[in-house]
Amino acid sequence: MTPAARLSAAIDVLADIEARRRPATDALKDWGLSHRFAGSGDRAAIAGLVYDALRRKASAAHLLGEPTPRAVVLGMLALDRGLDLEKIEKLFDGGRFAPSPLTQGERTALARTGLEDAPAHVAGDYPEWLDLPLARVFGDDRVEEGRALAHRAPLDLRVNTLAGDRDAAAAALSHLKPAFTRWAPAGLRVTIGAEQKSPPVHAEPAYIKGQIEIQDEGSQVAALLAGARPGDQVIDLCAGGGGKTLALAAAMENKGQLYATDLDMRRLAPIHARLERAGVRDVQVRTPRPGVDALADLAERADLVVVDAPCTGTGTWRRNPDAKWRMRPGSLSERVAQQVTVLDRAAGLVRPGGRVVYVTCSLLADENTDQIQAFVTRHPGFSPVRPADLVTPLGAAAAAFLDSVLTFPEGLLMTPRRTGTDGFFVSVLTREG
């Protein structure tokens, strides 16, 4: 397919997403099934165009003066990909399979690429109803924080220290040109260009042998800040597919006991194969059963309980850009209620002198600092660790990391703009002995 034909396809996919109000992954899958002539490179390029357009949906529509799929693609090419009017006109030439030529109004709009007159939620590319919640956290910086969330994320890998070291893993993946991550001592980062396909990491020998896992650097840092130690009794209360479970097990050096569970047994399905591949031996997976408390025997026994809480995922918009436009206020209320339930459960599992670590991939105070304040009110025997003490597991990078994050009495917040990671909030709460 020509670049112009790919643009036509991306416009069609965006129109399908809008008309049927469906996730981008579903629309892209259906497009691929009905256009089997398109190669993997074409499909990857079209997906990249669709996701980049969704990332810049509000600002692109503002630039062109209308929210149509065509307008959003045009605006994205100017704002995100940096194409000038001449280059865009060559793509929109009306030729075979190409989009129709630009109108005079489109040319006029594309001649000005500034967003000086745009309201904050448009310039920052996030839903209008989230402007006040984001202003509460970031103030006037919310536009820049939003813009950072509207750029494509890199591919981050965590080296499994149970199976090797970072230098050896980087050498095995040298064809991907990985760089060492700034904060996570076992992390590698692969930068993917706008026209590049995401590399098939699952087919890499290093992955198959359990030497690496796909995990954002922010998630790796959150697991490190939990401070799991060899010999500890640790509970991963919202383990899901096991990403942080594996990181915790590596920190524990396969010594001690790690219990992994989740309220949704379906989310636990991938964890067994991942544990085996990584060579993890100290994990018990506790699968929930109706009417049975899978952790009843562990009350007040854990040194550490990790709550990787269900949340709105506002910190991961770089990777899931259509989710921000589908998010509604009701979903925030639902997540907040779930977080209260899981935090209260964690409080009954940790021993006196132990710790509860609360993690979200959210940027919103409702899910972060507010939750911790409310938890401490309900459970006065717990108190949050100061951010300055929280970052010590990062070693030599701790001071620079502390200068980069947003800090609160309740914990700290990573963001793409500040730390180059997904957005993560981390709070460590100690129970008095």
**According to the model, what pLDDT value does residue 116 have?**
83
**According to the model, what pLDDT value does residue 193 have?**
82
pLDDT in tens, 310-340: 999 999 999 999 999 999 989 999 999 999 9
pLDDT at residue 369 tops 90: yes
Torsions phi, psi of 353, nearest 5?
90, -10
Mean pLDDT of 202-213: 96
Q: How confident is the model at residue 198 (pLDDT cuts 50, 70, 90)?
A: confident
**According to the model, what pLDDT value does residue 194 have?**
76
CA angle 66–22–93, rounded 5-degree value: 45
pLDDT in tens, 255-273: 999 999 998 889 999 999 9
How many CB atoms lie under 10 A from the CB of residue 290? 5
**According to the model, what pLDDT value does residue 197 have?**
77
**According to the model, what pLDDT value does residue 174 have?**
97
Report all structural domains of the chain as residue ranges with CATH numbers, in order of start. Answer: 3-113 (no CATH), 155-214 (3.30.70.1170), 217-431 (3.40.50.150)
Mean pLDDT of 12-17: 96
pLDDT at residue 195 tops 80: no
In the chain, % of residues over pLDDT 90: 91
**According to the model, what pLDDT value does residue 264 have?**
87
Mean pLDDT of 144-172: 96
Pairing assessment for the beta strands 257-261 and 233-236 based on DSSP bridges = parallel
pLDDT at residue 408 tops 90: yes
Mean pLDDT of 334-355: 97
Distance, CA of 60 to CA of 343 (rounded, Å): 40
The mean of the pLDDT values for the chain is 95
Mean pLDDT of 183-206: 91
pLDDT in tens, 27-42: 999 999 999 888 888 9
422 CB-near residues (< 8 Å, 6+ apart): 153, 216, 218, 219, 315, 316, 318, 319, 361, 414, 416
Tokens encoding 74 = 């045009």
pLDDT at residue 62 tops 80: yes
* DSSP for residue 196: P
Distance, CA of 59 to CA of 29 (rounded, Å): 26
Catalytically annotated residue among 306, 361, 363, 426: 361
Known binding residues are: 262, 308
Q: How confident is the model at residue 84 (pLDDT cuts 50, 70, 90)?
A: very high
Mean pLDDT of 338-344: 97
How many CB atoms lie under 10 A from the CB of residue 375? 24
Active site residue 361: yes
DSSP per-residue string spanning 112-160 = ----TTS-HHHHTTS-GGGHHHHHHHHGGGHHHHHHHHTS---EEEEE-
